[in-house]
Chain A
């Protein structure tokens, strides 16, 4: 680990906030993509059945 000296809190909190926001963005994107794909699949199945 690099020695961050007296700026450890600043550097780590900047990286921490960035990781949380980016992971959150990827997770929300993936979750909505999956939900819409499933809902569309179900709707198309009903359409072809009916």
Chain B
């Protein structure tokens, strides 16, 4: 049995229809519990005060900004290698979610940075690579809109996605590569010395799970819409020539 049969558009529409409500409920539960716990029931940080509450939206959105691009990269590679149409449409469907997550990370980071660093923005390696990632997202979306032939658009956007992956990796590891700038290192670490305190860690992990589940729900719905839109486009073209 091959996993590729699940990428058949008809099969995809079948299994995704069953999964969407399940993941939607799980996402709502995780987001409600994580945000409520983090916002209302965690103490202030001894250095950052109440601004530490921004961690519950900043870290999950920044994580998703990078992970969505990685998902788009995998889907683009599948398109380039195997020509699976659903994978190209899934990458296209994920991009607006990724650009929103990147924007949330940039806004919440600036709002958090102002009282902590004394500035909204600094050309720090991590911040700069995130801004470039945001511009790559916009370029990716613009390229899909600019090309009429869907297969050509999928080819070119896949190549753009490969190039942009450099900045997705830089966004994650910029602090380690350059070891400079204002932004701190990883918030979560397997090293107990570096990892944040349990009192912040537990609601944060739940919120990160909620953001991940929300992404899965949205990307499934948007991919289903793209499949329908392509079918609609084909029917309209047939009507015009009839």
Contact surface of A with B, Cβ cutoff 8 Å? 1-8, 10-11, 13-15, 17-18, 21-22, 24-26, 28-30, 32-33, 36-37, 39-40, 43-44, 46-47, 50
Contacts and interface: CB of A to CB of B under 8 A. Distances in A.
A33 B221 contact: yes
B107 A43 contact: no
B214 to A, nearest CB: 8
Contact of B235 (A14, A25, A32, A40): A40
A11 B35 CA distance: 13
A37 B228 contact: yes
A35 to B, nearest CB: 9
A39, A40, A47: most-surrounded residue (chain B CB, <10 A): A40
Given A18-B108, A25-B96, A46-B239, A2 B50 contact: yes
A5, A6, A18, A33: most-surrounded residue (chain B CB, <10 A): A18
B33 interface: no
Contact of A33 (B51, B224, B236): B224
Interface string B130-143: 00000000000000
Given A14-B57, A21-B103, A47-B235, A36 B111 contact: no
B194 interface: no
Contacts of B44: 5
B104 A17 contact: yes
Contacts, number: 95
Contacts of B57: 14-15, 18
14 contacts: A10-B51, A10-B54, A11-B53, A13-B111, A14-B112, A17-B107, A22-B100, A26-B218, A28-B96, A33-B222, A36-B229, A37-B225, A39-B232, A47-B238
A48 B183 CA distance: 60
Contacts of A5: 44, 49-50
Given A7-B49, A8-B50, A14 B111 contact: yes
A44 B111 contact: no
B100 A43 contact: no
Given A10-B114, A14-B111, A18-B61, A2 B39 contact: yes
Given A4-B50, A15-B57, A25-B97, A32 B111 contact: no
A28 B107 CA distance: 20
B51, B97, B114, B239: most-surrounded residue (chain A CB, <10 A): B51
A15 B44 CA distance: 16
Given A18-B108, A40-B235, A43-B235, A11 B54 contact: yes
